[in-house]
Amino acid sequence: MKTHYDVIVIGGGPMGLATSYQLGKRKASVLVLERFKFLNQQGSSAGFSRQYRIPYPDEYMVNMALEAQPYWDELQTHTPKTLMDKVGTLWFGDPNVHSTEGNIAAAEKAMDAAGVKYTTLTSKEVEDQYHFRNLPSNYTGLFQADGASIDLVATLETLHDLNLKSPSVTLKEFSPVYQINQIDGIFHVTTPEGTHLAKKLVITPGPYINNVLNLLNFKVSVTYWEMASAYFKKTKPDIQYPTWFVFQEAVGENGNQFYGFPEVTWDYPGYIRVAPDFVIKPLTSPDQRTSIPNPQELAYTAQWVKDHMTGLDPTPYYTSTCLIALSNLKNKELLLDFAPDFVPNNKDIVIYATGWAAKFIPLLGEILSQLTLDGTTPYDIEPFQLGYKYFKSIL
């Protein structure tokens, strides 16, 4: 049995599989270790759909979304399933609100700088064109036509199949990592099956990030969040929504941000998914996951659907959760960096952690592979190289 590899990828979710796919294309021998079964529902890739969008309050994020498009196009050539259902992105709400997603005016400015076309909307136009109701008159909106709903399951299946077909990639599931040692510059990674050796490591275990980093004697500062989602039955079969996000003032200490998806064939046909973009009871460990949505979050969501959406029964019919780790740095959800310099051979360890990045999956796979094999990437990742701020030694 092969035990020596060029690269070991720890974490076989979308980021790990996208990275191993790109590494395999460059003929690097790769081992992917997944603690659960591949294509599982136990991490940050749980659920069926994600949003692809271009609106962001920062121009570098707008550019990153644009740079991801050709990588999605390439991935689409490998499957007959439609990976992205293009329905457009709608942002609307109080123009003065700044949320975890940013601010409407800032997003317009960033898209203007990048030359991205969009349409500005009044509150009444949002109601008339996109089926919302009872919106405050001061609300504004923007619609960007390239937004889409990502078929996350099909994306994972496509990446998984490509890796299975690659002669350079080995996939091992039910392989949690128990120990990582370095001997003469070689990483010795121990799993229940035995010890595997590699010159390089890529660490992409989603919410289990600190389970792995602790083996290297450091950690990241994160909050764990069991995100809730609810599905509402359509009472008007022909009604359709774009992907959307509403910006509103906080309600008490809990927040009042919501986002939603269109009806799609792969995710409860006949239903519309709406989710809260705030957390009432954060977790301190991924082991605290219950897979049960917070009832208060669902109640806020159902009330918002009842008050402001048309053509839907406001009773949550199906529900789901997704476990993620979010950076504790303000407005910096995404971390893409090498290990800190107090770790021996830190430039041979590449880390992706925290945040929402499904819209960038195939691009991040390329970036992570470039950092691993070349030590650099032509893409601008400086805003995500934040390890110096919140990597902490546990020695």
Q: 316 is written with which tokens? A: 């949550």
Which residue, 367, 374, 381, is CA-closest to 21? 367
252 three-class SS: coil
| Long-range CB contact pairs, 183-188, < 8 A, 24+ | 185/345, 185/348, 187/8, 187/348
The span from the CA of 390 to the CA of 193, in Å, is: 33
pLDDT of residue 125: 98
Q: What's residue 101's pLDDT?
A: 81
Say which amino acid occupies 216: L
Burial class (CB in 10 A: 0-12, 13-18, 19+), 117: exposed
Which residue has 């918002």 as its token pair? 304
**What DSSP element (H or E) covers 75?**
helix 59-76
What's the CA gap between 188 and 183, in Å, rounded?
Answer: 7
How far, CA to CA in Å, does 343 sit from each of 190, 199, 215? 18, 15, 11
User: What phi-psi label fits residue 388: left (phi over 0), alpha (psi between -120 and 50 degrees) or beta?
Assistant: alpha
- 8 Å CB contact between 131 and 260: no
DSSP character string of 111-150: HHHHT---EEEEHHHHHHHH-B-S--TT-EEEEETT-EEE
pLDDT along the chain (395 residues), means of 10: 89 97 98 96 89 95 96 98 96 88 93 98 97 96 97 97 97 97 95 95 96 95 90 96 90 72 94 91 89 91 95 96 83 85 96 90 98 97 88 87
So what's the pLDDT on residue 355?
77
Q: What does the pLDDT read at residue 254?
A: 52
Nearest to 323 by CA among 233, 226, 232, 243: 226
Q: Tell me, what DSSP letter sits at residue 102?
A: B
Whether 391 and 340 have beta carbons less than 8 Å apart is answered as: yes
E strand or H helix at 17: helix 14-25
- 344 C-beta neighbours (distance < 10 Å), count: 11
Residue 77: predicted pLDDT: 98
The full set of domain ranges for the chain reads 4-45+153-217+331-393, 61-149+223-327
Nearest to 241 by CA among 253, 229, 259: 259
pLDDT for 155: 97
Q: What is the CATH number of domain 61-149+223-327?
A: 3.30.9.10
pLDDT at 273 (0 to 100): 96
What is the value of pTM for the model shown? 0.95
CATH number, domain 4-45+153-217+331-393: 3.50.50.60
End-to-end Cα spacing for the chain: 35
Give the strand order in the sheet containing 84-86. 49-52, 148-151, 84-86
Task: Name the residues annotated as catalytic.
Answer: 53, 101, 259, 277, 322, 356, 359
Q: What is the three-state SS of 179-230? A: EEEEECCEEEEEECCEEEEEEEEEECCHHHHHHHHHHHCEEECEEEEEEEEE
What is the Rg, in whole angstroms, of the alpha carbon atoms belonging to the chain? 21
